[in-house]
Amino acid sequence: MTDTWFEERERAQDYISQQTLLRCIGAESHWDAQAVLEHSYCQLAELELQVDQISHKVPDLHQRLSAILDAFYTQWLFCGSEQNAPEHQLNSVCYVLKMRSGSPTALSIVLCHLLERAGLAANLAMEQGEVMVHVGFSYDEGYIVEPCSGQQTWYIVPENEKEKQDEPLEIVTGDEAFKLYLAQQKWAFIAADKFGHALSCVELLMGMLGDDPYERRDRGYLLNQINCPKMAKEDLQYFVDECPDDPTIDIIEHQISELADHNHVLH
């Protein structure tokens, strides 16, 4: 692969990936009717303006990356959170823009957006189950940034190892980054017993995935929690029909049996 191929691939991803943060901000209104998204957009616009100013002053991309990371962590004071706040709050990009603190995923989404604004090829990435920020400078070299601290590591794939070695990280772009955000929020809402909020996440995911059996299973669970047993039974049965070999199938079938015996009374 050539550097030209890499640049063309990154340009093709540019429009989609830059929208991830905006999609995440917009999603807040689906589960929080009182969310004032204008505040988040204004906070983001202020950061974008400062990124533009840095970009004009620093033409070298390596130095520009360092300058923006320095501003992000030491001037704007973004960091990982040790606050005693609910996980779903720390996962929120709106919370991160306001409080400058949050989960690795939310921080990564904000940081990637600002790095892309600066003309850098930044994406979310997974490394051993952890969310990181990947900034590519060619097909074979780039930086890995730890989102909570800003610690950066340069990597290069040696010429004689290119065919032996996969990409150093699993890159997460576009729809996949948005799905990751929604999935993490879904489980955080479930953990907090915010079942209606979690259901909103499932509905957004199903808007992209269609009748994904695992999302149908989760929707069935949530519908049961908010006292809609008939619709819950339909979703759980769909999962059983589509995934008969899933290791949780016995549990799901037991839930279906309980729902079938349940005589729901409307008050």
Tens of pLDDT, residue by residue over 208-229, are 999 999 999 999 999 999 999 9
DSSP string for residues in 174-238 = HHHHHHHHHHHHHHHHHHTT-HHHHHHHHHHHHHHH-S-HHHHHHHHHHHHHTT-HHHHHHHHHH
Neighbours of 209 (CB within 10 A): 15
- At residue 155, the pLDDT reads 86
At 165-206, the pLDDT tens digits run 555 579 998 899 999 999 999 999 999 999 999 999 999 999
- The arithmetic mean of pLDDT across residues 18-44, rounded, is 92
CATH 3.40.50 given to domain 3-174: no
Which pLDDT band holds residue 6 (cuts at 50, 70, 90)? very low
- Total-model pTM: 0.86
Which regions of the chain carry the CATH code 3.10.620? Answer: 3-174
The angle, 0 to 180 degrees and rounded to 10, between the axes of the packed helices 20-31 and 195-209 is 140
- At residue 259, the pLDDT reads 85
Mean of pLDDT over the chain:
88
Helix (H) or strand (E) holding 142: strand 141-145
- At residue 159, the pLDDT reads 64
CA 121 from chain centre, in angstroms, equals: 17
Which pLDDT band holds residue 161 (cuts at 50, 70, 90)? low
Which pLDDT band holds residue 135 (cuts at 50, 70, 90)? very high
